[in-house]
A and B are shown apart, each in its own frame.
Chain A
Amino acid sequence: MLHIINKSPSDRNSVEAALRLATKGSVVLLIEDAVYAATRGNTAAAKIQAAMADLKIYALKPDLETRGLADRVMDGVSLVDYAGFVDLVAEQPNCQSWL
C-alpha cells in the first residue's frame, strides 16, 4: 500500500495518522507541504525516524526544491520525481491519499 500525504505535520495530523495506521512493509510518499516532515529537526522527525523500521519513506524532490529544503532531508528518506511518483503508484497494489 502506498500512503500519499500532502500536508505539513505542523498543519494537520495526517503524517502522524498515516504512520500510526500504515502496516509493516507499506510505502509512504510525502508530497506538497508534507515534504516538511522529511526534513531534519521537523516536529515529526522522531516519528518518521521510528517509522523507517517498518515503512519505506519517500519525498517528492520537486516539492522539496520549491521550498528550498532539498539539502535538509533526513537520512533514510528517498527522493523521487513525478516519474518516480508514478512508479510508486504502479508498483504498490493500491494507494491512499491522506486528505
Chain B
Amino acid sequence: MKFGILVNEGPYTHQAADSAFKFAQAALAKGHEVTRVFFYHDGVNNASRLTVPPVDDRHVVNRWAELGEKHGVDLVVCIAAAQRRGLLDDNEAKRQGKDANNIHPAFRISGLGQLVEAGIQNDRLVTFGD
C-alpha cells in the first residue's frame, strides 16, 4: 500500500514529528511504500539543516533525511510556511536577497499542490500534528 504523511508540528515540540517518523519507519518495515512526507505549518522546522540537538538526543532532521535517501521518500516542505518561518533553500535565499540558506538538501521546497497530490496518489494520507 502507498502512504503519504503530513507533518504539521515542529521537531522537539510535543510528539508529532516523532510519531510521524516512527509510523513511516513501521510502514516501510512492513513492506509498504511511503511516497511523500509533506511538512506544513511549524512542521517545516523538521527541515532545518542547522539543527543541532544535544549529542545524546535523536536528530530529527537527519533522521528524516536518512529515511528519505534510503527509501526514496519525497520530503517536501511547504514554501509559504517555510518562508514565513525563515527557512530558505539556496534558490529562495538568492531570490529573496538573503545571505544564508538553511533547508537540508534531502528536502525540497514546493507548494500545497504536492500535498493534494499526496492525497490523490496514495492509498492513505496520515496526518500528524499539534
Contacts and interface: CB of A to CB of B under 8 A. Distances in A.
Interface string B31-60: 010000000000000000000000000000
Given A86-B27, A86-B32, A31 B19 contact: yes
Contact of B23 (A33, A85, A94, A99): A85
A32 B15 contact: yes
Interface size, B (range): 20 to 34
B32 A6 contact: no
B26 A82 contact: yes
Given A32-B16, A82-B23, A90 B127 contact: no
Contacts of B22: 62, 82
Nearest to A60: B19
Interface in A69-99: 81-83, 85-87, 89-90, 94-95, 97, 99
Contacts of B23: 82, 85-86
Contacts of B129: 6, 97, 99
B3 interface: yes
A4 interface: yes
Contacts of A94: 124
Contacts of A63: 15
Contacts of B126: 4, 89, 95, 97
A13 B41 CA distance: 22
